[in-house]
Amino acid sequence: MMVQTLPHFRQTDYSYRLLLLCVVTALALIATSFRKREGRKVMPVAISFSLVLMAFVVDRLFTNKLAVHSYSMSWSANGVAPWGDVETDEKGEPPVVIYRRVNQGYCYDAIFSPELRARLTASNKPVITVQYNVFSDFGHERGYNVRAVDGLVFNHGYRPLRSGERYGGYVMNGSGSGDCQR
């Protein structure tokens, strides 16, 4: 899954637009205060510096926040899930599918990892603990990745620790809607 650094401007909320307005205003004040010699007064520079500082503080406090969510999930390593067969890799190997029931369907992630397959097959536990890293800006979820599956850590924040291609989503069984809010 690709995580975007900057959101699409039309899809942002007012907080992000206010932050952008503060930065642009600060830069405009700095540019105008240094354009003319007599305009180099302390007050415009102080205001500009304050606005830029406020923008950085808001950015650090409200963007790129990380939360770890844990779920008890079922798993399958044979290429079959409750909703049917799952997509295999280019060698024909099935992924390990971790899933949980949500409303009328399933939230799932499929991970291509021989190490994970061996670990889960050896443990033979029907239900495992899965942790997700959830990234948010201004309280809105921006993206996620799998942190750990049954104690096997894949990602520490954005930093991958183990290889393992993956895909995931929500599969509906019947009518209704589902949201895999991690």
- Residues with Cβ within 8 Å of residue 174, at least 6 apart in sequence: 104, 105
Whether 95 and 41 map to the same domain: the answer is no
Nearest CA to 100 out of 82, 70, 74 is that of 74
Whether 99 and 137 map to the same domain: the answer is yes
Question: What's the confidence (pLDDT) of residue 3?
Answer: 42
19-49 pLDDT, tens digit per residue, is 777 777 777 777 776 676 665 666 677 777 7
* Strand-pair partners of 128: 73
Whether 167 and 96 map to the same domain: the answer is yes
Asked if residue 151 belongs to a domain, the reply is: yes
Question: What's the confidence (pLDDT) of residue 112?
Answer: 93
Whether 32 and 71 map to the same domain: the answer is no
Q: Which domain holds residue 48?
A: 11-62
- How many domains would you assign to the chain? 2
Asked if residue 57 belongs to a domain, the reply is: yes
Whether 79 and 157 map to the same domain: the answer is yes
Whether 24 and 111 map to the same domain: the answer is no
Asked if residue 179 belongs to a domain, the reply is: no
42-94 pLDDT, tens digit per residue, is 667 777 778 887 888 888 888 889 999 999 999 999 988 998 888 888 888 89
Whether 52 and 73 map to the same domain: the answer is no
Is the predicted pLDDT of residue 152 greater than 90, yes or no? yes
Tell me which of 33 and 182 has the higher pLDDT: 33
Asked if residue 1 belongs to a domain, the reply is: no
Identify the H or E element spanning 12. Answer: none
Whether 79 and 137 map to the same domain: the answer is yes
Is the predicted pLDDT of residue 5 greater than 60, yes or no? no
pTM recorded for the entire structure = 0.69
